[in-house]
Homo-oligomer: A and B are copies of this chain.
Amino acid sequence: MGVGRPKQFDEQEALELAMQLFWSRGYGNTSLSDLLSEMGISRQSLYDTFGSKRGLFFRSVEHYKATQLSQALALLEREGSPLENVKGVVGFFQDLAADERCRGCFVANALVEVAPHDPELAEVLQDTLDILQNSIRASLEKSIEIGELGSERSPLSLARALTNAMIGLAVTGKLQRGRATLRDIYSGTLAMLG
């Protein structure tokens, strides 16, 4: 291998490892050497490909959207009852909160830890939440159209309140609150749907 020539590596695989590490430990608690060791790449490769630790974090948010958020969105795109799909996505966050690793949601973690000091990141995270909220809203609209949900409800208002409760679940998941608590949160949250 020639001097200065970047080491070859699988960018998606490296991003997955970086995202997992940031997700578990947070931004501040993850050092550059932790990342290099986890990703198995050289410092030069990291700088060449991602620019900086902050650049890698932004790419990790994109990777989270492409892998985790897209799973939640896929639940909303399923055939059948759009109302059941909405319940499914709340259940997705209930499962996240039940995860014994207590990692919560990568986006909610970043919102709390990094967004207040980084307006550019705050905007990216806001857009990420909006994608989820808009998809829920669209499902609720379909649900009203087919008469599953009363038309007196505002799909936008409901989508906002549901998204807020899902963020709550992500943070609640930082503690081992037990299955019974999570079930109560799930059913209480769905009670919003009337």
Quick check: is A160 within 8 A (CB to CB) of the other chain?
yes
What's the Cα separation between A25 and B115 when bound, in Å? Answer: 11
B171 touches A189 (CB 8 A): no
Given known A-B contacts A29-B117, A104-B112, A188 and B162 have beta carbons under 8 A apart: yes
Provide the residues of chain B in CB contact with A164, threshold 8 Å.
Answer: 165, 168-169, 172, 185, 188-189
**A175 CB within 8 Å of chain B:** yes
Chain B neighbourhood of A174, CB < 8 A: 111-112, 115-116, 122
Given contacts A184-B156, A188-B192, contact A171 B113 (CB under 8 A): no
> Copies of this chain, how many?
2
A167 touches B172 (CB 8 A): yes
Q: Decide: A29 and B29 in contact? CB cutoff 8 A.
A: no
* In the complex, A126 has a CB within 8 A of chain B: yes
**Main SS of chain A's interface residues?**
helix
A98 at interface, CB cutoff 8 A: no
A147 contact set on B, CB distance < 8 A: none
For A, the interface residue count at a CB cutoff of 8 angstroms equals 48
In the bound complex, do residue B157 and residue A184 qualify as a contact, i.e. CB atoms below 8 Å apart? yes
Chain B contacts for A115, CB-based, 8 A = 102, 174-175
A32 at the A/B interface (Cβ < 8 Å)?
no
Give the chain B neighbours of A117 by CB distance below 8 A: 25, 29
C-beta contact mask, A166-193 vs B, less than 8 Å → 1, else 0?
Answer: 1111111011010001001101110110
Is there a chain B Cβ closer than 8 Å to A125's Cβ? Answer: yes
| A108 surroundings in chain B (CB, below 8 A) | 112, 171
Q: Closest 8 A-B residue pairs measured CB to CB?
A: A161-B188, A168-B168, A28-B28, A157-B184, A164-B168, A112-B112, A160-B184, A167-B168
